[in-house]
């Protein structure tokens, strides 16, 4: 497929206002694509070069792209930059400069998708001395042979700003339509995706080897598994009742989720978002090489700082220090890490995902044996709410976050929040003490003292998994420092748009919309019913409509933007509805 054709599809994707239409367009693209183009199309459309776990980055900054546009079109950097200041979108700027280019365009060689993808890979791979200039030149070459529309995406792609707003679920449905002309295969494709986390690989397999190959796809080392997630309930009684009898109750550690893959001497660690974090936790990687009794496995646990002198786990703030890339070795000495392992998915060529929890746990304990650094999570097995509560209280007293109860018979359910894991967190019972992760869908311009920042507040949403839509839940105007307002203003103005993005559902109209990209952490006093927010919106008996909203929401968190969560990993509509009903129960 020619890149120009893909650019036309992207242009129409940007213009549609319905999710179904998006699926239709993407399915068209997939139908038309050749087998060998499938994975490249998926990565391109996601705005990446490869799945997150490969850690491939373009290393192209806006300043560099500005220079490429200048070189490719015969204008000065200043001219390009001043247009960018007005347009706020370097892709659009590239488009208009190519249209009025002073240089003769090299249009004879119309690039196809794979040629563009390979060229982009070269840009990413250029490193070391002189690489900046090299990248600028390579990108300039691409722009110089582009039509204006192609140039828009040639520039946006390496900047990670495609603005298409397609999520994984939309893409999976489009693949299902490609294969079957309807959306019924989505679950099977999702299963495959959940165990390899590589949508490009799933798409390519489907196109070349069909559904049978998708069905027989199994776990393998160095393809991270999308993590299982926990549901929540407010009391020990409800947890025991839901579990229907005996269950395991594990301590809940507040650190970094870590999936460890090993085969022979190769070892890799992956974060909750499935990014490679091997270098960040050298002590855990070393222990996984030396202290486990087999050399092929996938295990999962929570990494956190440990004070050997007092045998205490450190709070998250201490552990997070380790995320800073500098001084890792020094920190490893001062703050050694422990991995509290809680699951195993693969060992010695055997897939353990479908084995019941109790079997997996047995294997996990067997493999960890005497390791000092990798310990199995502490747990009890009980069917008594009182025992659960006691264990919870002791855990909290010891500075931990709470407990996670686990169904003894359940398989490992990748990529989903199910009641086979149920969490109970510290000071949960009562007001809304758990924070929420909300997706920014729009923002308001500053008024009064905030005029100078061009930022006055956010419009935020939660994710409705069933609809694959982002439903508005709250405005957010409190809790920002001046630096944070500046940061948000800088980031959001780059992706601001005047029309509502296709996967956003809202009644309120912010000054600018943004497509779902950034997640922020918010604390609120209470969840309330609201006629102006679309989160969980239903028609009441009297014919009026109401959704859910937040009372006194404020921004909290270590960082302004949660870089470890994608929009689809934010708090869901279902969770909000559950929290609302739990909050009502506690009041009565």
Binding site for ligand AMP (CB under 6 A): 227, 230, 250-253, 257, 272, 302, 342, 377, 404, 423
DSSP reduced 3-state for 562: coil
DSSP reduced 3-state for 306: strand
Q: Compare residues 342 and 512 and give the one whose CB is closer to ligand AMP.
A: 342
Cβ contact 513:499 at 8 Å: yes
Q: Compare residues 150 and 437 and give the one whose CB is closer to ligand AMP.
A: 437
Catalytic residue among 135, 207, 223, 252: 252
Which residue lies nearest ligand AMP, judged by its C-beta? 257
CB of 372 to ligand AMP, least distance (A): 19
Buried b (16+ CB within 10 A) or exposed e, 83-94: bbeeeebbbbbb
Q: Compare residues 435 and 486 and give the one whose CB is closer to ligand AMP.
A: 435
CA distances from 428 to 236, 406, 570 (A): 11, 18, 19
Q: Compare residues 156 and 426 and give the one whose CB is closer to ligand AMP.
A: 426
Find the farthest-apart pair of alpha carbons in the chain and give their distance in angstroms, rounded.
Answer: 79
CB of 299 to ligand AMP, least distance (A): 12
Cβ contact 200:39 at 8 Å: yes
**Termini Cα distance of the chain:** 62
DSSP H stretches of helix in 356-494: 357-368, 385-397, 482-493
What's the rounded Cα separation, in Å, for the pair 158 and 153?
Answer: 9
| Number of Cβ within a 10 Å radius of residue 208 | 12
Q: Compare residues 253 and 352 and give the one whose CB is closer to ligand AMP.
A: 253
CB of 439 to ligand AMP, least distance (A): 16
What's the rounded Cα separation, in Å, for the pair 60 and 155?
Answer: 10
Q: Compare residues 83 and 302 and give the one whose CB is closer to ligand AMP.
A: 302
**Tokens describing residue 57:** 């980055």
User: Which residue(s) pair with 252 in the sheet?
Assistant: 402
CB of 249 to ligand AMP, least distance (A): 9
CB of 361 to ligand AMP, least distance (A): 11
Residue 337, φ and ψ in degrees, nearest 5:
-100, 150
Between strands 247-252 and 379-382, the pairing is antiparallel
Smallest Cα–Cα separation from 557: which of 570, 541, 572? 570
CA distances from 156 to 9, 88, 150, 159, 164 (A): 15, 12, 10, 5, 11
Q: Catalytic: 252?
A: yes
Cβ contact 378:250 at 8 Å: yes
Smallest Cα–Cα separation from 222: which of 259, 188, 273? 259
**160-163-167 Cα angle (round to 5):** 90
What's the rounded Cα separation, in Å, for the pair 325 and 336?
Answer: 15
Q: Compare residues 188 and 578 and give the one whose CB is closer to ligand AMP.
A: 578
Q: Compare residues 222 and 316 and give the one whose CB is closer to ligand AMP.
A: 316
CB of 296 to ligand AMP, least distance (A): 23
Active site residues: 252
């Amino acid at each position: 497929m020619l890149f120009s054709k893909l650019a036309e599809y992207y242009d129409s994707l940007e213009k549609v206002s319905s999710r179904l239409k998006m699926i239709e367009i993407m399915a068209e693209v997939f139908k038309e694509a050749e087998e060998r183009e499938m994975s490249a199309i998926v990565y391109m459309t996601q705005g990446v070069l490869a799945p997150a776990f490969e850690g491939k980055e373009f290393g192209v900054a806006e300043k560099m792209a500005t220079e490429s546009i200048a070189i490719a079109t015969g204008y000065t950097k200043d001219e390009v930059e001043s247009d960018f200041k007005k347009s706020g979108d370097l892709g659009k700027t590239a488009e208009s400069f190519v249209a009025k280019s002073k240089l003769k365009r090299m249009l004879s060689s119309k690039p196809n998708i794979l040629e563009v993808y390979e060229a982009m890979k070269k840009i990413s791979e250029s490193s070391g001395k002189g690489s900046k200039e090299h990248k600028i030149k390579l990108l300039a070459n691409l722009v110089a042979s582009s039509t204006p529309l192609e140039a828009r995406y040639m520039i946006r792609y390496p900047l990670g700003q495609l603005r298409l707003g397609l999520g994984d679920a939309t893409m999976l449905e489009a693949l299902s339509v490609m294969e079957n002309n309807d959306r019924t295969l989505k679950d099977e494709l999702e299963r495959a995706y959940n165990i390899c986390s590589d949508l490009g690989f799933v798409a390519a397999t489907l196109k070349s080897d069909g559904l049978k190959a998708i069905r027989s796809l199994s776990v393998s080392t160095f393809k991270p598994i999308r993590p299982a997630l926990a549901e929540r309930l407010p009391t020990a009684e409800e947890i025991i009742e839901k579990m229907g009898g005996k269950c395991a109750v594990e301590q809940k550690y507040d650190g970094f989720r870590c999936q460890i893959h090993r085969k022979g001497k190769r070892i890799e660690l992956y974060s909750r978002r499935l990014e490679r974090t091997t270098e960040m936790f050298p002590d855990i990687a070393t222990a996984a090489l030396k202290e486990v009794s087999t050399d092929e496995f996938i295990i999962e646990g929570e990494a956190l700082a440990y004070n050997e002198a007092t045998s205490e786990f450190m709070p998250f703030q201490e552990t997070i220090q380790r995320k800073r890339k500098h001084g890792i070795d020094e920190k490893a000495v001062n703050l050694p890490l422990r991995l509290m392992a809680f699951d195993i998915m693969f060992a010695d060529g055997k897939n353990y995902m479908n084995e019941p929890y109790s079997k997996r746990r047995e294997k996990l304990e067997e493999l960890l044996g005497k390791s000092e650094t990798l310990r199995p999570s502490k747990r009890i097995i009980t069917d008594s709410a009182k025992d659960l509560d006691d264990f919870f209280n002791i855990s909290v007293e010891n500075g931990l976050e709470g407990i996670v109860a686990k169904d003894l018979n359940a398989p490992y359910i990748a990529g989903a929040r199910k009641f086979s894991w149920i969490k109970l967190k510290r000071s949960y019972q009562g007001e809304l003490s758990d924070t929420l992760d909300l997706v920014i869908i729009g923002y308001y311009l500053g008024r009064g003292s905030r005029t100078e920042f061009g930022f006055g507040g956010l419009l935020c949403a939660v994710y409705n998994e069933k609809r694959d839509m982002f439903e508005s839940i709250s405005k957010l105007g409190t809790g920002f420092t001046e630096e944070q307002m500046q940061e948000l203003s800088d980031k959001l103005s780059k992706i601001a748009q005047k029309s509502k993005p296709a996967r956003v559902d809202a009644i309120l109209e912010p000054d600018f919309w943004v497509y779902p990209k950034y997640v922020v952490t918010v604390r609120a006093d209470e969840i309330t019913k609201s006629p102006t927010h679309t989160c969980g919106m239903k028609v009441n008996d009297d014919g009026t409509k109401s959704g859910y909203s937040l009372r006194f929401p404020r921004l909290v968190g270590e960082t302004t933007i949660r870089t470890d969560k994608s929009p689809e990993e934010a708090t869901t509509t279902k969770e909000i509805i559950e929290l609302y009903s739990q909050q009502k129960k506690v009041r009565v």
